[in-house]
Chains A and B, each alone.
Chain A
Amino acid sequence: MAFEYAPAPESRSVVDIAPSYGLFIDGEFRPAEDGKVFKTVSPSSEEVLSEVAQAGQSDVDAAVRAARKAFEKWSALPGSERAKYLFRIARIIQERSRELAVLESLDNGKPIRESRDADLPLVAAHFFYYAGWADKLGHAGFGADPKPLGVAGQVIPWNFPLLMLAWKIAPALACGNTVVLKPAETTPLSALFFADICRQAGLPKGVVNILTGDGSTGAALVAHPDVNKVAFTGSTEVGKAIARTVAGTGKKLTLELGGKAANIVFEDAPIDQAVEGIVNGIFFNQGHVCCAGSRLLVQESVQDELLEALKRRMSTLRVGDPLDKNTDIGAINSAEQLARIKSLADSGEAEGAQRWAPACELPSTGYWFAPTLFTGVSQAHRIAREEIFGPVLSVLTFRTPAEAVEKANNTPYGLSAGIWTEKGSRILWMADKLRAGVVWANTFNKFDPTSPFGGYKESGFGREGGRHGLEAYLNV
């Protein structure tokens, strides 16, 4: 029998969203020079949350100018002083974490359980970790006195808005750079709240500048001649365009792009644990995860048993109000993304794969997509090759470890992979052969500020996290 759950919504009263926000330049909020604005909506209700400024070229110029001006003093501060600013920021984030979690769930659509228990703790931890590096850079293996690069132009995606901000800003500031960051068009609010945290922390003006806007703002930022470093997380298509823009300029570039990770289950794997890992791998954050385990490779001998258990588990997933503490799967981030997921799922059916989703009632307003599984998927299908960035799992099978490796690596991407088996030597053999930057064995979608993250091949280059993550922001 199915359990009924009473609604258990997290209170919205903890967060106070202003009706409009300007751009955060040189320590102050100001409107875009040409006065342009756009609305940000809650994807779960389509309610307008706020109106934010659309930064144009002259705003980008002003922000880069402010960052350049601030760079001189910021980079000259003793590392121990920069560290203390970052420690302050980490602590204030912890203090305000419930507010930020609710805000993130409202603006992004992700379940409060994830924003509260995954995003926000990782955000604070990331600042805390890199704070400690600021006065220890000479011990990081990049020479005795490595130097910052200057002004970093950073463009981040909508799937983990505040976490991606932390991944970008924390190491940049620790190394002595100043930043101009553009949050994603559909999720600008947490970055604007972060600007307020910078104010509370007493961060010198101009060290962090936040420009809201669409793709054109990001393009202007990465092309700006006075930017020394470009960091981008997002789609492989845009990443390639940025790489072309940066070519020949000497700007340092790191890219964290798409993925089509294989999650590989061997016949000796503990099925229940594997099922939890598969569900976490593809349905965490509505599948809006670049390292999502979107291709399930299951050994043929356990295919039936595994799929039955997986379907049973998927039937218990609760889709709905992101602020409800019982929600497993929240809203798709935007109408545009929903259309893309629908179109790719339709292509799966059209190309001959079998589609399955549990019976599940979706809210009438907002953007929703039920957790979906495709079986009978061949490697040629679009749903096996293209990043869907949604709660859609493509199931393929294999017989031998060698075949699993070959299928797993048969993609231009190389961000992550998963392995489920009880045999230790097989884990290490597989981990060695998989061409991916992060390999989760008997677990999935784990992150930590000390642990380098980033891709092989067309999933980008450079690493975020750990000692490795410093390199992107040092002149080495």
Chain B
Amino acid sequence: MSESRLGVLKTYKLFVGGKFPRSESGRVYEVTDAKGNWLANAPLASRKDARDAVVAARKAFGGWSGATAYNRGQILYRIAEMLEGRREQFVREVAEGEGLSKSKAAAVVDAAVDRWVWYAGWTDKIGQIAGAANPVAGPYFNLSTTEPTGVVAVLAPQDSSFLGLVSVLAPVIATGNTAVVVTSQKSPLPALSLGEVLATSDLPGGVVNVLSGKAAEIGPHLAAHSDVNAIDLTGADAELATALETAAAENLKRVLRPRDEDWSAEPGTDRLLAFLETKTVWHPIGV
């Protein structure tokens, strides 16, 4: 390859309903590396983009929540496979976006791949951990099972733009929810590239929708949206989190509040359980 060859840059786009649209607003914002060098122009998602993403997520919910847990597990594992194959690209994007050394960025990307694998294995187990056969005092079959909450809005962490994003997104979809994710504002590029991985992993369109832009601008629309069932406020600062939790009360969204996180630690089941409902079914026993 000639040293003088000019590289072909990627136009980073949103990922909504399995497609890669630009923001309907036509807005972009400049994404730079830690030293302030230009990396790309990312779409600055708008209220309309958020609403389109919710429509796509709702449309995908029936199929994804109705898919077998085994099937969901295989697709999550496929995501890990696809990601592994594009490891170098993500190492570069994470290193540039988060100002990490190549080796540190590689460790982050490896952890993100492994996280998909970890959650792939959970899809057909969490129901066994969280469900119950209840010994009621009467002649009734009584079974509690888990079901996904629905459409979940996720404000991904601002600092950990890739491992953090995967850590909040994977458990949401592992359990059969569909997601609208708002990326780290400062470093949206790995998340936007993840959309390309998701698009080639047999994940049905609309299960994950990725919006880049400002949590403070898009968040309020998602928190107030009546067709969003839950919201993860991890990427919101304290003031924004309070405002969004207040707005979320309007249709009683399930709210996951921001807390201290160590993205390198094993996640536990909290995030899987946060967006699961428990359904209890009764039936008489008799001949």
A contact set with B: CB distance below 8 Å: 125, 141, 236, 239-241, 243-244, 247-248, 250, 255, 257, 412, 427, 431, 436-443, 446, 448, 450-454, 456-458, 460-461, 463, 466-468, 476
Please, which residue of chain A has its CB at the minimum distance from the CB of B273? Answer: A471
Q: Judging by beta carbons under 8 Å apart, are A448 and B134 in contact?
A: yes
Q: Judging by beta carbons under 8 Å apart, are B252 and A457 in contact?
A: yes
Shortest beta-carbon distance, B66 to chain A, in Å? 8
Shortest beta-carbon distance, B129 to chain A, in Å? 7
Chain A residues, CB < 8 A from B280: 437-439, 451-453
Q: Judging by beta carbons under 8 Å apart, are B282 and A468 in contact?
A: no
Shortest beta-carbon distance, A257 to chain B, in Å? 7
Q: A241-B249, A451-B142, A452-B280 are in contact. List 5 more A-B contacts (CB 8 A).
A: A240-B252, A255-B252, A438-B281, A450-B135, A450-B142
B68-105 CB mask vs A (1 if < 8 Å, else 0) is: 00000000000000000000000000000000000000
Chain A residues, CB < 8 A from B254: 461
A257 to B249, CA, bound (A): 13
Q: Judging by beta carbons under 8 Å apart, are B242 and A141 in contact?
A: no
Q: Judging by beta carbons under 8 Å apart, are A125 and B283 in contact?
A: no
A448-B134, A460-B252 known; A438 vs B282 contact (CB < 8 Å): yes
Q: Is the interface of B mostly helix, strand, loop or mixed?
A: mixed
Instruction: Name the interface residues of B259-287: CB closer than 8 Å to any CB of A.
Output: 270, 277-284
Shortest beta-carbon distance, B280 to chain A, in Å? 5
Q: Which of A243, A244, A446 contacts B138 (CB 8 A)?
A: A446
A250 to B145, CA, bound (A): 28
A437-B279, A446-B140 known; A452 vs B251 contact (CB < 8 Å): no
For residue B47, CB closer than 8 A to chain A, the reply is no
B240-262 CB mask vs A (1 if < 8 Å, else 0) is: 01100110111110110100000
Q: Judging by beta carbons under 8 Å apart, are A248 and B138 in contact?
A: no
A255 to B282, CA, bound (A): 22
Q: Which of B132, B149, B242, B282 contacts A439 (CB 8 A)?
A: B282
A456 to B279, CA, bound (A): 9
Q: Judging by beta carbons under 8 Å apart, are A456 and B246 in contact?
A: no
Chain A residues, CB < 8 A from B257: 250
For residue B8, CB closer than 8 A to chain A, the reply is no
B118-137 CB mask vs A (1 if < 8 Å, else 0) is: 00000000000110101111
For residue B144, CB closer than 8 A to chain A, the reply is yes
Chain B residues, CB < 8 A from A431: 279, 281
B133-156 CB mask vs A (1 if < 8 Å, else 0) is: 011111010101000010000000
Please, which residue of chain B has its CB at the minimum distance from the CB of A467? Answer: B132
Shortest beta-carbon distance, B187 to chain A, in Å? 27
Please, which residue of chain B has its CB at the minimum distance from the CB of A437? Answer: B279
Chain A residues, CB < 8 A from B144: 451-452, 466, 468
A437-B280, A442-B284 known; A239 vs B252 contact (CB < 8 Å): yes
For residue B212, CB closer than 8 A to chain A, the reply is no
A450 to B201, CA, bound (A): 41
Q: Judging by beta carbons under 8 Å apart, are A240 and B249 in contact?
A: yes
A205 to B41, CA, bound (A): 64
A247-B242, A457-B229 known; A452 vs B136 contact (CB < 8 Å): no
A466-B144, A468-B144 known; A236 vs B283 contact (CB < 8 Å): no
Shortest beta-carbon distance, B135 to chain A, in Å? 6
